[in-house]
Amino acid sequence: MVAGTGIAIGALVAAVLVSGGTRRVRRGRKRDAAVATGLRRGAMAGSSLGLIALLRVLAGLTPLTTIFVIAPFVVAEVVLSTRHP
């Protein structure tokens, strides 16, 4: 149940971000970059939500563990967003 919810939320976030990012651009490298960014952010959202839900089920969710779960995803997104193609 937890894994399915994480996958579903990740897919929904990815679909929204890809459709929003590709709405302005029809072809070319910018469209490919927008698709890749939307898929990456959707995967990050789904996996972080799945990890938090798993910790909640295992009764190990505290504010400190939430920070340790979310922080690597935030750092990875900052690093990947600042990288030039």
Would you mind telling me the total number of residues written for the chain in this entry?
85
pLDDT tens digits for range 21-61? 888 877 888 888 888 888 999 999 999 888 888 888 888 78
Q: Quickly count helices (H) and strands (E) in the chain.
A: 3, 0
Q: How far apart, in whole angstroms, are the C-alpha atoms of residue 22 and residue 14?
A: 12
Question: How many independent structural domains does the chain possess?
Answer: 1
Please give the full DSSP string across 10-47, using - where no structure is assigned: HHHHHHHHHHHHSSS--SSHHHHHHHHHHHHHHHHHHH
pLDDT tens digits for range 7-18? 898 999 999 988
User: What pLDDT shows up at residue 59?
Assistant: 83
Range of the structural domain that residue 45 is part of:
2-82
